[in-house]
Structure 1
Amino acid sequence: MARKRKIIDRIEVQDFAAEGKCIAKHEGEVIFILTPNIAPGDVVKLQINRKRKSFSEAIVLERLEPSPMRIEPFCSHFGVCGGCKWQHIPYETQLKQKEKQVIDQLERLGRLEVGEKRPILGSANTQYYRNKLEFTFSNSRWLTADEIRSEEEMNKNALGFHIPKRFEKVLPIAHCYLQADPSNAIRLFFQSYADKSAEPYYDHVKHEGFFRNIMIRTASTGEIMVVVQFAENDKKKIEDCLSAFVQAFPKVHSVNYFINQKRNDSYQDLEPVCVHGKPYIEEEMEGLRFRIGVKSFYQTNSDQAYELYKITREMADIQPEDIVYDLYTGTGTIANFVAKRAKKVVGVEYVEAAIEDAKVNSEINGIDNTSFYAGNMKDVLNEAFLEKEGRPDIVITDPPRAGMDKEVVEMLLKIRAKRIVYVSCNAATQARDIKLMSDYYRVSSVRPVDMFPHTHHVENVALLELN
């Protein structure tokens, strides 16, 4: 017999927790609320789904009274789409929570002493701020409760976003507030073309169909790239589709496609085909041009990326004779951005294609004091490498969400650069790594940067200085 779950008929949500969750307290116990779109001040009915030693996890069965802090979401897809989950929270409140989240992770989780706590840098644009979006074709769109009850035949095709935790279900998007025009118009063109062509939308269970995915990239320079994934290698159908698109959008700078017959949408191991324009677009920052290819990584909020890099450069305080290491350099954006202030900048990244992009970005900008290496960070960064390139005076590190490998941290402790600037999209793993270095380094200054309004995600820049 299934165990009966505890119901709390009425309780007020007290505060935010990490990762966008909220918390309440009942009879001295902390309850983490897993249901999205909840706000402190909401009065709710809860069901306890899991009880731990020091806390419980619950879902909301009913919202009884709205929080006074709630605002009206601006997007009609709010609550179903997996993005922009904090639209019901005022932006200033979002910023305060992100700032608090960063400091809590460093001080409470990492048990670190933080020096200067600089205020979070909010995003000037809270809508249409992304430079990259991907939309998925599916023959199994998300249905409303009324549609499920209906016995009428309906079109189940959709072009939009995957429903969270339902890989086969896609929510059709009428208008997305994440990427500026002509993003919505481009998406609607492909939806209309696919419907008229009668070629099948992709079936994510059977892994068959024709139209699979589109990616739209934009740049601060005004350049636009479109990449389409087709699941069938029918050259005539592909040519007809993309020719019609170019005719409708002649000012798009780069049109490319992949043939993807795998069981997932990843494309790093596939070869793109450029059918119109050039195989890249360009970003611009302080007169530097950065080529963004089909597979290139670039921060998805261009305006805030510039602010993030300026803060990183300021904290690094690079002097003309300094050797700088840029770990997890990606396409070398930070390395090239700070190069003119340094004697030499060395970038290391595990993705070979990204390193090739980094070299090109140095070349096209006339930067001759950079060198880039591809390989596993913990393998590349050894004594022989240090002897060849010189021991760094300053280290900039911007690892993925999982943080740095322990071996990399141990090497940084051996190097003992005078300053480490640690850029992170996950303050929890950042705190863990900094704690491992706390015998030798102090956290002199931190500054969070909001790259993703209406989400719980936040970047943080921390300056570590030798004790």
Structure 2
Amino acid sequence: MARKKTNRIILEDLLVIDAGAKGKSVAKAADGRVVFINNAVPGDVATIQTTKKRKAYFEGTAISFSKLSDKRVAPTCEHFGTCGGCKWQHMGYEHQLFYKQKEVENNLKRLGKIEIPELTPIKAAQEQYFYRNKMEFSFSDNKWLTLDQIKSEEVIANKNALGFHIPGMWDKILDLNKCHLQQDPSNAIRDFVKMKAQELEIPFYNVRNQSGVLRTLMIRTASTNQIMVLVQLFEDTDKRVALFEALKEQFPEITSLLYVINNKGNDTIYDQDVLHYAGEDHIMEEMEGLTFKINAKSFYQTNSEQAYELYKITRDFAGLTGEELVYDLYTGTGTIAQFVAKNAKKVIGVESVPDAITAAKENAKRNGITNTEFYVGDMKAVFNEDFVNTHGEADVVITDPPRDGMHKDVVQQLINLNAAKIVYVSCNSATQARDLALLDETYKVTRVQPVDMFPQTFHVENVVLLERR
């Protein structure tokens, strides 16, 4: 049954039947239209207030429940439902895994329209919380207030916040009490920085006015127990030294203390100079005896334990014997390239970010790996016929593109190359399916292995082995 309410529609007692893309659950309205719901779990029966109406679907929010799903669990985090992360924290982990695997299978079959073998069960994470090795928090002098706070007559003098952006509110920051994503001492460092900054009266940033001093706080941890802290400032202050000295004294385990002075409109640091204050300018990650230098701008999989599982699957799918020439496309800092190098004759990595290639070369040298080469450039421009003529025809290609997948020119060059195997690692099975469809005439998908890198979220990694038909 539906009735009008303030230009929105109320859909009563809908059974939530599935979990869809981007963490939304799925129901069907009485008229047959799909309803995407942002706060329900499959098995719930809920009344939905729509927020968007389209010809084929609604989007909405559950405003009441007449029945709660047996797939529900009590969220661990007090910030669940307000913070933009961990959108599946109210769903049991075994059910999260089920829907992630289902999404991969649906995308490959329905979007890619390709024949695939039966999926190997998704590789579950051993740690369902405190698994991230990198977190970024934002400062604000105008924190997000709850509805109760807004309605109350209480005067909130201190509006400083250090936490996450509220979804859909670019200028509002949720002030965190405790985050369950990064291991200790992450929460303690964040809380101390906030407390000490207020004690020193260092202004928090105001994104609307482009004013203040403290912008962001990044904390990186490693399996080697090293810790990096980077504070981003809108402008420098003579109180910065006092803040950093207090941080050093309180947390002697910090091995890299860095800062950035960034007075441009956005928070990205990739075009900024990273300034060294104390300790090293990097931390070290370790995997199977290999060490990787991680600087402030380095990309490294944010779940170290599951990254190891992902790389083992990739190496297994490649099936290397020691005689193969391997191309590693979108190599980043060369982590996968070096991880498989001992099983290959030679590995050639290609990446568009110059700093990443510099790090890849340094890491290979440090690890005593002599059978890797790394080249920088835009993939669709570098990976061409001349590149193949120069470096040889690869026996195996490993490709790990960004969420947008591979450019059609790169896919065509893979078809032209005609390597015996392609191992396709993806963080977005929808764009992966699109690329697999283009490769389908030449290659057959023979193995599929989803990997859960991010428990409590809807994100899923997927590894596919393609073999030449």
TM-score by length of 1: 0.97
| Residue 445 of structure 2 corresponds to residue 428 of structure 1 | no
Task: Give the match for residue 68 of structure 1.
Answer: 70
Aligned to 1:153: 155
In structure 2, the residue matched to 1:77 is: 79
**Aligned residue in 1 for 2:18:** 15
CA distance in 1, matches of 2:199, 2:7: 51
- CA-to-partner distance for each residue in 1:239-264, whole Å, 9 max, x for gaps? 22111111111221100000011111
Q: What is the rounded CA distance, in whole Å, between the counterparts of 1:183 and 1:133 in structure 2?
A: 8
Distance in 2, Cα, partners of 1:454 & 1:297: 22
Query: What's 1:6 paired with?
Result: 9
Task: Spell out structure 1 runs of 4+ moving beyond 6 A.
Answer: none
Gaps of 5+ in 1: none
CA contact (8 A) 1:280 1:293 kept: yes
**SS in structure 1 at match of 2:306:** helix
**How far 1:41 sits from its partner (Å)?**
1.7
- In structure 2, what is the Cα distance between the partners aligned to 1:57 and 1:209? 38
Q: Which ranges of structure 2 fall in alignment gaps of 5 or more residues?
A: none
Alignment partners' CA distance in 2, 1:230 and 1:6: 45
Structure 1 residues 295 and 152, CA gap change in structure 2 (3 angstroms): same
CA distance in 1 between partners of 2:447 and 2:359 (Å): 32
Counterpart AA for 2:28: K
Shift in Å, 1:208: 0.7
- Kindly indicate whether residue 185 of structure 2 is the aligned counterpart of residue 185 of structure 1: no
Distance 1:169 1:4, change over 3 A: closer
Q: Does 1:198 pair with 2:201? A: yes
- Amino acid in the other structure paired with 1:227: L
90, 97, 100: which is aligned to 2:102? 100
User: Aligned partners of 2:133 and 2:67: how far apart in 1?
Assistant: 38
Listed one character per residue, the Cα deviations across residues 168-206 of structure 1 (whole Å, up to 9, x for unaligned) are 111111111100011011001101111101121100100
CA distance in 1, matches of 2:151, 2:51: 28
Task: Find the residue that maps to 1:329 and give its secondary structure.
Answer: coil
Cross-structure match for 2:352: 350
1: CA distance, partners of 2:240 / 2:8: 53
Asked if 1:386 corresponds to 2:394, the answer is no
Q: CA separation of 1:466/1:203 partners in 2, compared to 1, >3 Å: closer, same or farther?
A: same
Aligned-residue offset at 1:3: 8.9
* Aligned-partner residue type, residue 29 of structure 1: G
Question: Which stretch of the first structure deviates more once superposed, 225-234 or 456-465?
Answer: 225-234
| 1:139-193 C-alpha deviation (Å, 9 max, x unpaired) | 1111111110123321111111111111111111111110001101100110111
Match of 2:218, SS state, is strand
Cα distance in 2 between the residues matched to 1:30 and 1:107? 23
Whichever residue aligns with residue 271 of structure 1, its letter is D
Q: Judging changes above 3 Å, is the alpha-carbon distance between structure 1 residues 5 and 175 closer, same or farther for their aligned structure 2 residues?
A: closer
The residue number in structure 2 matching 1:250 is 252
Alignment of 1:62-461 (within 5 A): 62-154=64-156, 155-234=158-237, 236-461=238-463
- Structure 1 CA distance for aligned equivalents of residues 6 and 243 of structure 2: 55
Q: Deviations over 1:256-278 (max 9, x none)?
A: 00001111110000011111111
Residue of structure 2 equivalent to 1:42: 44
What percent identity do the matched residue pairs reach?
52
Compared CA separation, residues 377 and 57, structure 1 to 2 (3 A): same
